[in-house]
Chain A
Amino acid sequence: MSATQSVNRATNPGNAGGESAANRRLAVPAIIWVALLTVPVWFPWLGGYNLLATRALTLGLAAMGLNLLLGTSGALSFGQAAFFGLGGYAAGETLMHLAPSTPLAILMGIVVGGLAAGLLGPIAVRLRGIYFSMITIAFGQAFYFIVVNWNGFTGGEDGLLGFNRQPIDLGNFALKLDSVQYYYLVLLCFAVVAGLIALLLRSPLGHAFIAVRENERRLNFLGVGARNLLWIAFTLSGMIGGLAGALYALLNNFISPAALHWTLSGDFVMMCVLGGMRSFWGPLLGAIVYVLAENFLSSYTDNWMTALGIMFILIVLFFPKGLLGMLRTQVKS
């Protein structure tokens, strides 16, 4: 997990400590991975169920993708749900019309999400700040209305029905993809993406992303095109969004236009900020907190949105680095 270490170093300069600090930085990711790997054992015992854990992981994956723009490159995108939803529809349509193959459906999700982001990126990256946010909302809503109005192909407002994730044939034995196996499939995808993001952030390209956030003008003076960098980040973020959307569609065996709506993009931003958008694990933590709050609070009160909203305000006001930033400060002091 040395990759994560260097991310911490990159995002928190001056935090380099002694040997014990280094051990701690190794220990944290180890604990996280062990916890994630053993979810089907301890989570039901705490009152959860596998579908909920898988849902949190899927949304966390989309939020991590968004964070490549938001936390790393400093561009606030409200369009992540567009790529998430497109990936979901791509997976569903693949299973229904192309071939009954789960891996192909997931692959199509990545391709369609990445393609949409790659094509729209050049337009979006010309803008900065609020204008960037506005145009990403516009992209998202455009896809939303296409899906809603294209009744014949997408099922319109009612969503796309009639596909099922298919067992994966591994030669001499087949994965049925029941709830536990599907959790591990999602975890595998998550681990691959998390690993790649960690490698990316350690690479020169990742450092350049951070430079876009920190001082774009200087970067341009140095002869590095910030627009191209943002375009790459936008496309990668779209690919990850598409992957997460495909996994989400296969999780529910259902996808509806709500998965493309800008309010879901807002939820993704909220997850990043809640967990801590400057930390590697922040978006995942934010997604876990969000999904658990949504699920459990709404069983007890109709005003669960209020509770979630208050929590969000408190965190933004008092812990601008998010939950993870808060925890880190606690540990240090």
Chain B
Amino acid sequence: MTDRKTSDSDGFGSTGRGGITRRDFLKAGATVAAAQTLGLGSPSAWAAGDAVRIGVLNPSTGTYAELGRNQTRGAEMAAAEINARGGVLGRKLDLIVTDTASKTGLAVSKAHQLVKQHGAHFLQGTVSSAVSEAIEQASREMGVLFVDSGGHATPVTGKQCTWSTFRVCTTTYMLAAGIAETLMQKYGKRWYFLTPNYAFGLTEQAAFERILKAHGGTVLGAALAPLGTTDFSAYLIQAQAAKPDCLIILQAGDDLVHALTQVNQFGLQKKFGVAGGMMELEVLQALPAAARVGDWSFEWWWDQPNVPEVKSFVERYRKRNGGKYPTARSWFGYVATHAIAQAADEAKSLDSVKVSRALAGLTLPVDVGLQPAKLQFRASDHQLMSGIFAGGVKAGGHYPDLFQVEKYEPGASIAQSATEKGCHMTYPS
């Protein structure tokens, strides 16, 4: 991978950040744009041109819409807090939110739009791993800092790692490592996998297998289901025939909802353990009560009795969002925005390279980190050392009290090192 020069050499001043005339023109020309401006237009003490702008690239349509919206809600809450206490570098923080529909081509185009047209200084967002990887590349070309809030594929902070990209959510390896040993103790060491056939699932399965084999366990087999599978019965029959101690389900989002609904219809949870890597509050909420089973990893959980800051965070979040509880996704968005703001303040600059250097190695304050361990963006690969909340689904629980955290595993103890992941961090000179 060769580093290419940023493409701002196109020589047209109006594509840059100070495009006041063009912005004015837009406002005058497009009534839609005017309506949008009015919609945002709460009177503020800051001049509009002075704002620090973060472009937020989350899907609000398509398969990952709900996850994307929660990331945006978290980011908006962070921006409101930052502005309430004086903004970034004394300037107002503006979020420019746009829909990527989880389409890579559209997302890359939107990233350019945010930077070149709206003058975004930084980018954050994404749910789909494919989009994260594409934006990572596009943002490096533009020389703009990008914080991947929710795309898990290991290469983002592994082989593809680059000075301009940071990640809040964990890697697929950390998702597996956070719960694997618990599962071996609880159910036994003969596992069968139900894996979505793309990098997220495959790398997670590889991580589980590696840990299992290191402890002398056996892999009985794996059923690979394409992304977007709705009927898992054929795969579940194979799983049942293998008679494992534990069925590891690695699907996410709607796929996981469908898989667990059918696990329950087959009554598999009564025959062997049902468990997996990544569970989300959104998924548990979408499941019928009887299908809420198993042991899982959460990347963040709203009920942490030992961290008082979490309680206040949950209350503030609920007040803003009509009583909804924050999910891991809300927290991803929240952390990404706060981290960018904090790094910019420390760097005393909006220059992406300087802010990146400040963000590398930055430790989040507890009221942003909101986990028992102190969270740091590791300098070697720009991965946040976020922990894993392992535990089981609460039988007969009601929203939002659907999960019992049994063990908190700090990120630093389960993350692979940068060298193991194949990351060689370089900054532009």
Contacts and interface: CB of A to CB of B under 8 A. Distances in A.
Interface of A: 40-41, 44-52, 55, 145, 148-149, 151, 155-159, 161-162, 164, 176, 178-180, 248, 252-254, 256, 258-259, 294-296, 298-300, 302, 304-305
A306 B30 CA distance: 19
A300 B40 CA distance: 12
B10 A158 contact: no
A55 B105 contact: yes
Interface in B81-115: 98-99, 101, 103-106, 108-110, 112-113
Contacts of A48: 117
Given A156-B199, A178-B10, A298 B104 contact: no
Contacts of B113: 49, 52, 295, 299
Given A45-B22, A157-B198, A178-B5, A254 B137 contact: yes
Nearest to A253: B137
Interface stretch (B126-134, B266-274, B400-408, B413-421): B126-134
B306 interface: no
Which 9 A-B pairs give the minimum distances between C-beta atoms?
A: A157-B198, A49-B116, A51-B112, A158-B199, A178-B7, A179-B7, A180-B10, A254-B134, A44-B15
Contacts of B29: 47
B241 interface: no
B197 interface: yes
B369 to A, nearest CB: 29
A51 B5 contact: no
Interface in B336-383: none
B185 to A, nearest CB: 32
Contacts of A157: 130, 197-199, 227
B22 A47 contact: yes
A252 B7 contact: no
A50 B108 CA distance: 12
A252 B98 contact: no
Contacts of A302: 60-61, 65, 99
B105 A151 contact: no
Given A52-B112, A258-B105, A295-B110, A44 B14 contact: yes
B2 interface: yes
Contacts of B25: 45-47
A161 B4 CA distance: 15
Given A51-B109, A151-B202, A156-B198, A256 B130 contact: yes
A151 B134 CA distance: 17
Interface of B: 1-2, 4-5, 7, 9-12, 14-15, 22, 25-26, 29-30, 32-33, 35-36, 60-61, 65, 98-99, 101, 103-106, 108-110, 112-113, 116-117, 129-130, 133-134, 137-138, 141, 153, 155, 160, 197-200, 202, 226-227
A254 B202 CA distance: 21
B257 to A, nearest CB: 19
Interface-central residue, B33, B35, B130, B197, by most chain A CB under 10 Å: B130
B211 to A, nearest CB: 21
B106 to A, nearest CB: 7
Interface-central residue, B4, B200, B227, by most chain A CB under 10 Å: B4
A289 to B, nearest CB: 15
A44 B22 contact: yes
Given A55-B109, A162-B160, A178-B7, A44 B12 contact: yes
A180 to B, nearest CB: 4
B10 A50 contact: yes
Nearest to A298: B99
B198 to A, nearest CB: 3
Given A49-B113, A155-B199, A294 B130 contact: no
B155 to A, nearest CB: 7
A83 B10 CA distance: 32
A254 B108 contact: yes
Nearest to B198: A157
B104 A252 contact: yes
Nearest to B159: A162
Contacts of B106: 294-295, 298
B138 A149 contact: no
A158 B151 CA distance: 11
Contact of A158 (B1, B101, B103, B133): B133
Contacts of A161: 133-134, 137, 155, 160
A254 B61 CA distance: 22
Contacts of A252: 104-105, 108, 134, 138
Contacts of A145: 226
Interface-central residue, A145, A252, A295, by most chain B CB under 10 Å: A252
16 contacts: A44-B10, A44-B14, A46-B25, A50-B15, A52-B109, A149-B226, A151-B202, A158-B130, A158-B133, A161-B134, A178-B5, A179-B7, A180-B11, A295-B109, A299-B113, A304-B99
Contacts of A45: 12, 14, 22, 25
Contact of B9 (A178, A248, A253, A300): A178
A49 B104 contact: no
B1 A151 contact: no
B1 A162 contact: yes
A145 B110 CA distance: 27
Contacts of B35: 300
B129 A49 contact: no
Nearest to B227: A157
Contact of A151 (B10, B36, B199): B199
